[in-house]
Amino acid sequence: MAALLWLLIPLITGFAASIWAWCIGRLQPSPDHDTWEDLDRYQRLRSVLSRDEQCEAV
């Protein structure tokens, strides 16, 4: 029974670490979670750059 207890300790530690990592990840989402905002920012940048190129051509 003592041998099984030594196997149970790393298992519980692993579960606790995964739950902790999941909770921390939910509080601080990575930047790729808001893809639509990144796409809007990219489209605005493209439109500004294209306007600048048109102004230089004129």
pLDDT tens profile 12-34 = 999 999 998 888 766 655 666 66
Q: How far is Cα of residue 27 from the mean position of the Cα atoms in its chain? A: 11
Which pair of tokens denotes residue 41?
Answer: 């920012």
Question: What per-residue confidence (pLDDT) applies to 32?
Answer: 60
Which has more confidence, 50 or 13? 13
Can you list the alpha helix ranges (DSSP code H) found in the chain? 2-27, 35-57
Query: 31 with 38: CB under 8 angstroms?
Result: yes
**Taking all residues of the chain, what is their mean pLDDT, rounded to a whole number?**
79
Q: Which pLDDT score, from 0 to 100, does residue 39 have? A: 84
